[in-house]
């Protein structure tokens, strides 16, 4: 009887999880289906028809030919990659002393860093814009990545990861004459690779999908990113949901591909493997 109750409980749990997963995937499936439908098909039928009657790539080719999505893709790639590199650099440099060095006020500084998580971006948006304008950062890549040069979440994540690295590795490196920068680069960063890859994925997704800040800091279309390009499709006079769906698929495909390529690296690493018992 007990085994039967456990089996029913497991079935109910998996059924609920399946329903939740389908609800979460519904917009993505509808978007993907619409992008491959021909012009003669109704995209707002109920119940939704996910399998196109006439499968076609015409929507993608027309969007690519009639709109500068190649330029949008290049701009998004440049800004996202630069954002990831700079964010990992600054966050790891800030997290290392907070995790491994002893100095006065360390806990207070860390508390201030964590407190910034509670500050909405809309509050700092105007000062950031004034700063960007005064330093001539409008309509360039540096202006786009300015708000994401570092993040409190990234500092917190890497600090927690650095604290898990055995002190024996650090002490052995100091005995060998390694500097603090050398320890950070040669010991700490390789030891927390899963955490850095996790942070890189989060930062990349955030930079790739950011819409509000590029909309504010850019007014020249040659610097537009993919979210602004898709928004341009949605705001055009000849509103075409198939084009919007195709543009959206082009926008999210690199993020999904990146996650599929890197998900196997998001596993805990045994940093103590370099320490002999």
28 and 73 in a single domain? The answer is no
* Residue 103 reports pLDDT greater than 50: yes
Domain that holds residue 176: 63-271
71 and 164 in a single domain? The answer is yes
What token pair was written down for 119? 């500050």
For 179-222, the pLDDT digits (tens) are 888 899 988 999 999 899 999 999 999 999 999 999 999 989 89
98 and 197 in a single domain? The answer is yes
The answer to whether 192 touches 158, Cβ cutoff 8 Å, is: yes
pTM (two decimals): 0.83
96 and 164 in a single domain? The answer is yes
Among the residue ranges 7-16, 78-87, 122-131, 233-242, the one predicted with the least confidence is 233-242
76 and 147 in a single domain? The answer is yes
149 and 218 in a single domain? The answer is yes
pLDDT range class, residue 176, cuts 50, 70, 90 = confident
Q: What is the CATH number of the domain that holds 189?
A: 1.10.3720.10
87 and 33 in a single domain? The answer is no
Q: Which residues contact 139 (CB under 8 A, 6 or more apart)?
A: 217, 218, 219, 220, 223
> Is residue 277 included in any domain, yes or no?
no
Among the residue ranges 81-85, 173-177, 223-227, the one predicted with the least confidence is 173-177
**How many separate domains does the chain show?**
2
The predicted model gives 115-137 an average pLDDT of 91
* Residue 43 reports pLDDT greater than 70: yes
Query: 25 or 94, which is more confident?
Result: 94
pLDDT range class, residue 241, cuts 50, 70, 90 = confident
pLDDT range class, residue 175, cuts 50, 70, 90 = confident
Q: Residue 47: is the preceding peptide bond cis (ω within 30°)?
A: yes
């Amino acid at each position: 009887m007990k085994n039967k109750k456990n089996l029913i409980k497991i079935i109910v749990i998996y059924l609920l999880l399946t329903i939740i997963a389908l609800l979460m995937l519904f917009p993505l499936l509808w978007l993907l289906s619409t992008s491959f439908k021909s012009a003669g098909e109704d995209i707002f039928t109920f119940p939704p028809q996910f399998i196109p009657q006439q499968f076609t790539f015409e929507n993608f080719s027309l969007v690519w030919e009639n709109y500068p999505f190649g330029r949008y893709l290049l701009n998004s790639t440049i800004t996202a990659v630069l954002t990831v590199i700079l964010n990992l650099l600054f966050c790891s440099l800030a997290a290392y002393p907070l995790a491994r060095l002893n100095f006065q006020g360390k806990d207070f500084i860390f508390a201030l860093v964590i407190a910034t998580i509670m500050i909405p971006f809309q509050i700092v948006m105007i000062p950031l814009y004034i700063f960007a304008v005064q330093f001539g950062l409008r309509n360039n890549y540096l202006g786009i990545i300015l708000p994401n040069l570092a993040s409190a979440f990234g500092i917190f994540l890497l600090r927690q990861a650095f604290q898990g690295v055995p002190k024996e590795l650090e002490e052995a490196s100091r005995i060998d004459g390694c500097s603090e920068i050398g320890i950070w680069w040669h010991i700490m960063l390789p030891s927390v690779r899963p955490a850095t890859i996790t942070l890189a994925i989060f930062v990349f997704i955030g930079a790739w999908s950011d819409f509000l800040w590029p909309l504010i800091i850019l007014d020249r279309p040659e610097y537009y990113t993919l979210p602004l390009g898709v928004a341009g499709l949605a705001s055009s006079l000849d509103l075409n949901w198939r084009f919007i769906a195709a543009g959206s698929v082009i926008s999210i495909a690199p993020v999904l591909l990146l996650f599929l390529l890197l998900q196997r690296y998001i596993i805990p690493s045994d940093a103590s493997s370099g320490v002999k018992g």
